[in-house]
Amino acid sequence: MRIDVVTIFRDYLTPLDLSLVGKARKAGLLDLRVHDLRDWTSDRHRTVDDTPFGGGAGMVMRPDVWGLALDELLDDDAHLLVPTPSGEPFTQRTAEALAGEQHLVLACGRYEGIDARVAEHYRSRVRVTEYSIGDYVLNGGEVAALVVVEAVARLLPGVVGNPESLVEESHGAAGLLEYPVYTKPPEWAGLEVPDVLLSGHHARVARWRRDEALARTSQRRPDLVAALDVAELDKHDLAT
Ligand SMILES: OB(O)c1ccc2cc[nH]c2c1
């Protein structure tokens, strides 16, 4: 997979040189390129923004500069992703779908956002998705780009050491939050590990984990309970 990220703050993306994503890049599992939008400017001040039509506070990112960048980076099979607080929710299902694609291009906005004609223009050429990572507002798209790249990259074959660890995560195929996890020591701060986890009885452990996942989901995310797919619970041995 190739991922291009376009930003005016390249240093925001340096965490992608680290840990699993960094190792995946070095191993050739992910071709990630970070670009400075200002490289497509031609004026002395390398200007990427201007005042908004219709008035109002702040500045808007210019479509002409973005157009030069995206014309160069987008090929026909690319998927243009534009982080924005006004986008559709980015979820684990979104990450799973994107992990099967060949080329993602992330356009990181700043200021009051990118001129709306950019997304409109490229919809005639490539898939364009404006997405939100949550109901809060950041100062730009770079953090959202970090979220998307990590959520997608970890699903690529070979990136996570043990693919089994992807199966029972929160928001997995069964749609549940993950059960609580424990490790040594068996007692800490006067708190003990649940006996069932020390029993060596795998069926009981699986049942306990299913029950805990359901309880946690009901308590913390009742909205997810409504969407639960019982068939999926059966598949993942999370049914009764
Ligand atoms: O909250 B966000 O994910 C987000 C995304 C893009 C821009 C551009 C200017 N502010 C932004 C916020």
* DSSP characters over 15-70: GGGSHHHHHHHHTTS-EEEEEEGGGG--STT---EEPPTT--SS-EE-HHHHHHHH
pTM over 0.95, yes/no:
no
Ligand 1 close to Cβ of residue 67 (< 6 A): no
CATH of the domain at 217: 1.10.1270.20
Is residue 161 in some structural domain?
no
Q: Of 111, 127, 153, which residue constitutes the final position of a domain?
A: 153
* ipTM score of complex: 0.96
Q: For position 166, what pLDDT does the model report?
A: 80
Are the C-beta atoms of residues 153 and 24 closer than 8 Å to each other?
Answer: yes
Q: What is the pLDDT of residues 62-111, one digit of tens each?
A: 999 999 999 999 999 999 999 999 999 999 999 999 999 999 999 999 99
Decide if 162 is inside a domain.
no
Ligand 1 pocket, 133 CB below 6 A?
Answer: yes
Angstrom distance (rounded) from CA 150 to CA 72 = 24
Q: Which among 30, 33, 29 has a CA at the least distance from the CA of 10?
A: 33
> What domain range is 100 assigned to?
2-153
Q: Which regions of 96-240 does DSSP assign to beta strands (E)? A: 103-107, 127-132, 187-188, 191-192
pLDDT tens string 149-192: 999 999 999 999 887 878 778 888 788 999 999 999 999 999 99
Residues 174 and 228 in one domain: yes
Mean of per-residue pLDDT scores for the chain? 94
Atom of ligand 1 nearest to the CA of 136: 1
What's the rounded Cα separation, in Å, for the pair 132 and 37? 21
For residue 172, the model assigns a pLDDT of 80
Domain edge (last residue) among 153, 182, 207: 153
Note the pLDDT tens digit of each residue in 29-58.
999 999 999 999 999 999 999 999 999 999
- Closest ligand 1 atom, CA of 112? 9
Last residue of a domain, one of 95, 128, 153: 153
Assigned domain for 82 exists: yes
Among 9, 130, 138, 143, which is best to mutate for testing ligand 1, by the most ligand atoms less than 8 A from CB?
Answer: 138
Atom nearest to 139 CA in ligand 1: 10
- Give yes or no: residues 138 and 216 share one domain: no
User: Atom 6, ligand 1: which residue's CA is nearest?
Assistant: 141
Residues 141 and 188 both lie in one domain? no
Number of domains in the chain: 2
In a domain, 62, yes or no: yes
